Amino acid sequence: MLPFLGRRAGLPCSGGQIGLSLFELILVLFLISTLAALAQPLFKNAVRREKERALRHDLQQVRVAIDQFHADWERDEQIRIGPYCKRYAAQCQEIGGESGYPKTLRTLLKVELSGRNEDGTLKDESRRYLRRIPTDPMTDSTDWGLRCDEDPPDSTAWCGKDVYDLYTTSPKTARHQIPYSAW
């Protein structure tokens, strides 16, 4: 039995009641509040670290999809370089920007293609680069900041021609004092 429950210092309890004295109750509350105060910064940092990890993952996932799209649809003005751009020449200009990057993030979700096989028969195909546009963990939104192929790396204004890169629109900075938008 705990020393502060039941009989204290060998004295019998009055009326057979078991309980805590006011001092013991205050001591327990003080200990619980001290432990909670110590745990709060650890929990807060854990949540922040998890959001940063999710941001890194989402940025990498979309950037890989943009690079894959570019490899498939690359072109230099009228010269078609990418394999899909060569195969679906009529749609190449509609689907990608002048440099072969997607015109919007939504383009990465599904590209509907139609053309002719070598024997002249019609063929329909679709290409998917992302299953969904990820939610920005810093803003809880799917509205990402976008940069064009011709924009400087730190630009916050999108030219609207293509999607070369994306960034979070959160104004907050990371633990190492680098803005999340610069990741």
- Which residues are registered as beta bridge partners of 111? 127
Is the overall model pTM greater than 0.85, yes or no? no
Query: What pLDDT, in 10s, does the model give residues 83-108?
Result: 888 888 878 888 888 888 999 999 99
The angle formed by the CA atoms of residues 169, 56 and 52, to the nearest 5 degrees, is 75
Q: Which residue has the tokens 């498939």?
A: 72
3-class secondary-structure state, position 149: coil
pLDDT at 95: 84
Name residues of the chain where pLDDT drops below 50. Answer: 1, 7
